[in-house]
Structure 1
């Protein structure tokens, strides 16, 4: 792209929320994943379940898939990703990394349409809950618990805001690749009793000149720990926080396991 052809694209809350922003997502989540991945790896290595597929629901660009294979190098992984734009990044990562190419299956599905295998060793749903309306979220707990192997677990994260409240505009990422600087900004406004609308702004600059920009709005269903614990208890699951508070990582297991 010619740097003189500066432009800004904008997406709405409907459709694929990553259609315009997928090119930026992986590089901008790299730093948070440096802290999250070791926690995920530790949990997976400590599971009582000794076999079974690991499902990464909403696998995105594949950083969770990479963590699974580092923790459990020989385990088969089912990577479920509904966004075609994100799936393109995911497939490229799986193809280019030998440790992923022969054990990871990528399927185009979402939480409500994915066919979960029986005897799952674990299921990851990281940065996913906000995409699920309450009825889909509750259906997921029942579907997953019926297919977990004994000693298996669900791994998810609870991220702020935990209630429908404003989030001031905050820079979430800043990095330089070659001659260009990439920045990501986020803010949110309440949208009803249990939703917010996020505005995500991505900017690419060369010095003081903006090369390109994308703004995307999407709805996000909020849930806190108390509500989550109540929901999953109805399906015989208990919630345990793990790792640092900043990751929001939670492990769900059957009562008594």
Structure 2
């Protein structure tokens, strides 16, 4: 099956994504919970941008009991998984609003946190800056935005590599990833998913999508223009970054 760039690359891959990312979320969920513990005393909802299949939503629930969550997801295919995960959990069903939209979707006023994991690369530079500016306007005092920045940080070729594999029943599911430079600050990922039975491929899917890359220092500079300070946090391998409003200068009277 040939891969093509589509408006919703997850339309064909949503079947596999949740199980492919499960292992990656084992360290990421507690790290996210640790960051969110800093805003337990802050009022307001949490906005989860690119909520995907809802693994981040569960981490938010565990870290911030009672906080309303707005789970924003543009892909209808991924929302199907997200909605099922929310509906089957009584607590999530009462607290989580699933919003069909992207980073430009409407936010409630005075949010305590914005979670943007595994999605910043989907935004071209102009829309990235819009996100920083919007966060600076909408975050409640003491609120934060958390995202992860992982390589590549410049447009380079990434050789095809097996990123995940799981066994469910008699089926084995594999995910493969490769990338090629397609612009001055952009790469195109090619993701392939195979379903194997006793070593024989039965079915699968492949898809390509654009991904904008930038060094963390560049992201910090963009955020600073919006009045936000970037700090790295946690295990460096996770690439977690926190944005908070810059402290107001203190006036000194003579």
The aligned residue for residue 12 of structure 1 is 4
Matches within 5 A, 1:118-197: 118-197=109-188
1:58 aligned onto 2:34:
no
TM-score, scaled to structure 2 = 0.95
The aligned residue for residue 251 of structure 2 is none
Residues 49 and 150, structure 1, Cα contact 8 Å, conserved in 2: no
CA deviation map 1:83-126 (0-9, x unaligned): 000000000000011221100000101112x0011110000011
* Bigger proportion of residues as helix: 2
d(CA) in 2 for partners of 1:80, 1:130: 16
Residues 40 and 64, structure 2, Cα contact 8 Å, conserved in 1: no
The aligned residue for residue 98 of structure 1 is 90
Tell me the C-alpha RMSD between the 2 structures: 1.2
* Residue 209 of structure 1: how far off its partner (Å): 1.0
CA deviation map 1:222-254 (0-9, x unaligned): 111110000000011111111111211111101
CA deviation map 1:15-52 (0-9, x unaligned): 10101000100001011100000011011112275210
Count residues with an aligned counterpart: 248
3-state secondary structure, aligned to 2:98: strand
d(CA) in 1 for partners of 2:134, 2:147: 15
Detail structure 1 runs of 4+ shifted over 6 Å in the superposition: none
Which of 14, 25, 29 is 1:33 aligned to?
Answer: 25
1:45 aligned onto 2:43:
no
d(CA) in 1 for partners of 2:143, 2:220: 18
Distance 1:155 1:218, change over 3 A: same
> Structure 1: which 5+ runs fail to align?
1-8
d(CA) in 2 for partners of 1:177, 1:192: 39
